[in-house]
Chain A
Amino acid sequence: KAGVTQTPRYLIKTRGQQVTLSCSPISGHRSVSWYQQTPGQGLQFLFEYFSETQRNKGNFPGRFSGRQFSNSRSEMNVSTLELGDSALYLCASSSDRDGNTIYFGEGSWLTVV
């Protein structure tokens, strides 16, 4: 079974631009969540989607948004990028039956210059 797949793995953007990151969950998983990891703030929850609906949202500004498609694939978008948005963005998925175990992808490294 393939794991959580994230694309792209690395990207560099300029301040003020916007970025879209993509995530394909483990087959059969309908819950997809996103996390941001930075050296200063550590790992922080962004949002969680289930069946195309956002169920939970972390404490991030409205520039951070996401969506989930009918095939459970998810995207997150960051608009008007700031230098502080440079981070590793991790996507995770979990199943309906064992929602407790959450599996992560390799992440997307975003550098804002």
Chain B
Amino acid sequence: SQQGEEDPQALSIQEGENATMNCSYKTSINNLQWYRQNSGRGLVHLILIRSNEREKHSGRLRVTLDTSKKSSSLLITASRAADTASYFCATSGSARQLTFGSGTQLTVLP
């Protein structure tokens, strides 16, 4: 079953703009990870944020985590056409078992 929802389900922006995706989850977590999936391909790991962290950066990616609201956001700055993909958040508790959100389809227009 899905852990929660991602918002928006679809997002279309112009190249160079920032893209923000949100993820909500239901249970307590050890960490939250974001993945990218190009059409028909596997999942590419983007970034992991632990439950005791509030914000993390990696290149053009910025992730925030609010455990009190059980939510996370992924910001991609200066988007490129190559960023077009589906983005998923995934949470895990004590087991090495990921529970995924429903995903956001990002389209970056050149």
Contacts of B40 in A (CB 8 A): 88, 109
Stretch of A14-22, A64-72, A75-83, A93-101 that contacts chain B: A93-101
Q: Does B42 contact A (CB under 8 A)?
A: yes
Interface residues on A, range: 20 to 34
Given A42-B100, A43-B88: A104 and B95 interface contact (C-beta under 8 Å) = no
Given A45-B99, A56-B96, A107-B42: A100 and B31 interface contact (C-beta under 8 Å) = yes
Asked if B42 and A105 sit within 8 Å, CB to CB, the answer is: yes
Q: Main SS of chain A's interface residues?
A: strand
Asked if A43 and B96 sit within 8 Å, CB to CB, the answer is: no
Which residue on chain A has the smallest CB distance to residue B92? A100
Which positions 2-53 of chain A face chain B at CB distance < 8 Å?
A: 4, 6, 31, 33, 35, 42-45, 48, 50
- With beta carbons under 8 angstroms apart, the residue of A44, A90, A92, A102 that contacts B1 is A44
Asked if A94 and B42 sit within 8 Å, CB to CB, the answer is: no
Q: Please count how many residues in chain B sit with their CB below 8 Å of the partner chain's CB atoms.
A: 25
- With beta carbons under 8 angstroms apart, the residue of B35, B41, B92, B99 that contacts A107 is B41
Q: Does B33 contact A (CB under 8 A)?
A: yes
Which positions 76-98 of chain B face chain A at CB distance < 8 Å?
A: 88, 90, 92, 95-98
Contacts of A48 in B (CB 8 A): 95-97
Q: Does A63 contact B (CB under 8 A)?
A: no
What separation, in Å, do the CA atoms of A99 and B48 have in the docked complex? 12
Contacts of A35 in B (CB 8 A): 98
Q: Which residues of B contact A (CB under 8 A)?
A: 1-2, 30-31, 33, 35, 40-45, 48, 50, 88, 90, 92, 95-100, 102-103
